[in-house]
């Protein structure tokens, strides 16, 4: 018997797409997901996986098990035929093409790390967007110490080999620097004590302050805290070129590094740019119901979309609320009911800054320190999508507290 339900095709498995999948009426819609990633990733905790505080699978949720009544195909969206409502896709591994006809298309492909067309970034820097990035960082950090520990290694090499440079003073860059500092001073110092005097962490930020979205007092507190932890913060530091072991600043200063992490904001994906739809600063323009401007059945949510009437930042909580609202819009539409307007509820911001200290800024409180660290962990534990993930993360935190982080290189 032919399926008469309207087909909703979702491209992506990020916060917006996953929230949509969890809330859309699968009894009335034929839901198909296409994404190169067959899992949802809880990215706010991704920096914790780079040093083994958390394990990768603890913050991953398989898409196929997320909801009964959905279909998933692992691949990429390549091209959209808007006139005939057809999406041309490609398999992830053998690049096998396939076609999906849709009644409604949901674009939730997210964004890429913005390189600002700076030479050498793509070739030499490591981003922090996916589990593959975090795994590479985890491998490379240990590799820097193992290389430096060889008995014939010249001491002059330590100046660059044990220098970890983070470009970008937003929450991701700050949290990674904090996690790395914890790893070095809580675990690696036990096994590489002779190397500790040579280890350096430097955070480069092009603007005047790090964590510019936070209250100035919290930003200032973070800088002072980092100074106590011997994390060097360089503001107004514009990178003009990246080489294999050197960062060049706009004043021609050269900074050697063993590992360079690039976390400077978001840029558009090639797919989003190829759609020939109205865009604003690399994001697809949508109306208040997230319908792409100039289309009848194409929607965009999350980091790849922006509403001119109500522009919102590219954060997980924004994407999650947008995905949930869009599901309500389509659920109401198929029942012939008018949708309710989208109202964004800002839940506040949080960031881990190391040594069991964190920041939190909500409409009611502005907290910092150890108590806020407990709040930070509690809040994220409740926000994880499944009881399996909540349990795994809790056990990972207990394991790290009791036994430390693993220093195996794999």
DSSP track, 19-33: HHHHHS-TTTSEEEE
pLDDT of residue 224: 97
Report yes or no on 94 lying in a domain. yes
Q: Report the CATH number that the domain containing residue 81 is assigned in CATH.
A: 3.50.50.60
Q: Judge if 310 and 358 occupy the same domain.
A: no
Domain final position from 334, 356, 384: 334
Q: How many whole angstroms separate alpha carbon 204 and alpha carbon 262?
A: 10
CB-hemisphere CA count at 13 Å for 403?
10
Report yes or no on 178 lying in a domain. yes
Please name the residue that has the structure tokens 């790395």: 180
CA 217 to chain centre: 25
Q: What is the sign, positive or negative, of the torsion defined by CA atoms of 85, 267, 43, 349?
A: negative
A 10 A CB-CB count for 303 gives 29
DSSP E strands: which ranges in 162-237?
A: 163-167, 200-205, 231-235
Q: Judge if 252 and 371 occupy the same domain.
A: yes
Kindly give the interhelix angle for 387-403 and 370-383, rounded to the nearest 10 degrees.
Answer: 150
Report strand pairing: 200-205 vs 163-167. Answer: parallel
Q: Judge if 376 and 305 occupy the same domain.
A: no
Report yes or no on 340 lying in a domain. no
Q: Judge if 158 and 227 occupy the same domain.
A: yes
Q: What is the sign, positive or negative, of the torsion defined by CA atoms of 386, 326, 284, 100?
A: positive
Tokens at residue 160, please? 């660059």
Please name the residue that has the structure tokens 């093409």: 97
pLDDT one digit per residue (tens) for the chain, 410 residues:
678 899 999 999 999 999 999 999 999 999 999 999 999 999 999 999 999 999 999 999 999 999 999 999 999 999 999 999 999 999 988 889 999 999 999 999 999 999 999 999 999 999 999 999 999 999 999 999 999 999 988 988 998 999 999 999 999 999 999 999 999 999 999 999 999 999 999 999 999 999 999 999 999 999 999 999 999 999 999 999 999 999 999 999 999 999 999 999 899 999 999 998 999 989 999 999 999 999 999 999 999 999 988 899 999 999 999 999 999 999 999 999 998 899 999 999 999 999 999 999 998 889 999 999 999 999 999 999 899 999 999 999 999 999 999 999 87
Q: Judge if 207 and 128 occupy the same domain.
A: yes
Kindly give the interhelix angle for 316-334 and 15-23, rounded to the nearest 10 degrees.
Answer: 30
Provide DSSP, 136-164: HHHHHHHHHHHHHTSTT--GGGHHHHTEE
Q: Judge if 384 and 314 occupy the same domain.
A: no
Report yes or no on 394 lying in a domain. yes
Q: How many whole angstroms separate alpha carbon 128 and alpha carbon 201?
A: 17
Q: Judge if 42 and 175 occupy the same domain.
A: no
The residue among 274, 320, 275 whose CA lies nearest residue 293 is: 275
pTM greater than 0.85: yes
A 10 A CB-CB count for 267 gives 18
Domain that holds residue 227: 121-266+348-403
Which CA distances in Å does 172 have to 5, 37, 305? 41, 21, 21
pLDDT of residue 1: 64
Report yes or no on 262 lying in a domain. yes
Domain final position from 305, 334, 363: 334
Q: Judge if 252 and 172 occupy the same domain.
A: yes
SS (H, E, C) 61-77: EECCCCCCCEEEEEEEE
What is the layout of strands, in order, in the sheet containing 366-369? 349-354, 357-361, 366-369
Q: Judge if 305 and 315 occupy the same domain.
A: yes
Provide DSSP, 42-104: -GGGHHHHTTTSS-GGGGEEESTTT-TTEEEEEEEEEEEETTTTEEEEEETTT--EEEEE-SE
Please name the residue that has the structure tokens 């040594």: 355
Q: How far apart are the first and last CA of the chain?
A: 50
If one counts the domains in the chain, the total is 2
Q: Report the CATH number that the domain containing residue 224 is assigned in CATH.
A: 3.50.50.100
Q: Judge if 106 and 126 occupy the same domain.
A: no
Q: Judge if 251 and 299 occupy the same domain.
A: no
pLDDT of residue 135: 97
Report yes or no on 343 lying in a domain. no
Q: How many whole angstroms separate alpha carbon 7 and alpha carbon 33?
A: 11
CA 239 to chain centre: 22
Report yes or no on 341 lying in a domain. no
Report yes or no on 47 lying in a domain. yes
Domain final position from 287, 308, 334: 334
Beta bridge partners of 234: 204
The residue among 231, 256, 236, 254 whose CA lies nearest residue 245 is: 256
Q: Judge if 147 and 213 occupy the same domain.
A: yes
Indicate the helix (H) or strand (E) that contains 325: helix 316-334
């Amino acid at each position: 018997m032919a399926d008469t339900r309207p087909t909703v095709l979702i491209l992506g498995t990020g916060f917006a797409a996953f929230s949509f999948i969890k809330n859309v009426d699968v009894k009335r819609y034929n839901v198909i997901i296409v994404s190169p990633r067959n899992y949802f990733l809880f990215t706010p905790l991704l920096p914790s996986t780079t040093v083994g505080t958390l394990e990768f699978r603890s913050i991953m949720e398989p898409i196929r098990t997320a909801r009964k009544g959905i279909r998933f195909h692992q691949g990429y969206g390549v091209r959209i035929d808007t006139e005939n409502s057809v999406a041309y896709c490609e398999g992830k591994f053998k690049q096998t093409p396939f076609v999906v006809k849709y009644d409604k298309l949901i674009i939730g492909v997210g964004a890429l790390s913005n390189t600002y067309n700076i030479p050498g970034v793509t070739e030499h820097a490591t981003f922090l967007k996916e589990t593959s990035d975090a795994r590479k960082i985890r491998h490379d950090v240990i590799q820097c110490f193992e290389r430096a520990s060889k008995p014939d290694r010249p001491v002059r090499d330590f100046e660059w080999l044990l220098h970890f440079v983070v470009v970008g003073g937003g929450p991701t860059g700050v949290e990674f620097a904090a996690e790395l500092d914890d790893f070095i001073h809580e675990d690696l110092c036990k096994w590489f004590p002779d190397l500790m005097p040579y280890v350096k962490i430097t955070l480069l930020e092009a603007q005047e302050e790090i964590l510019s979205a936070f209250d100035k007092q919290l930003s200032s507190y973070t800088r002072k805290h980092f100074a106590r932890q011997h994390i060097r913060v360089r503001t107004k530091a514009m990178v003009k070129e990246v080489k294999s072991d050197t960062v060049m600043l706009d004043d021609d200063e050269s900074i050697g590094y063993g590992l360079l992490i690039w976390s400077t904001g978001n840029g558009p994906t090639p797919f989003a740019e190829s759609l020939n739809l109205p865009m604003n600063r690399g994001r697809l323009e949508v109306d208040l119901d997230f319908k792409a401007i100039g289309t009848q059945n194409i929607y965009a949510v999350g980091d790849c979309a922006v509403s001119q009437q109500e522009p919102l930042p590219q954060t997980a909580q924004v994407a999650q609320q947008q995905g949930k609202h869009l599901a309500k819009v389509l659920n109401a539409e198929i029942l012939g009911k008018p949708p309710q307007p989208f109202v964004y509820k800002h839940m506040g911001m949080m960031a881990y800054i190391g040594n069991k200290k964190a920041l939190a800024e909500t409409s009611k409180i502005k907290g910092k320190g150890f108590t806020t660290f407990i709040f930070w962990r509690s809040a994220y534990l409740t926000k994880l999508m499944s009881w399996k993930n909540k349990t795994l993360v809790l056990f990972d935190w207990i394991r790290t507290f009791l036994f430390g982080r693993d220093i195996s290189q794999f």
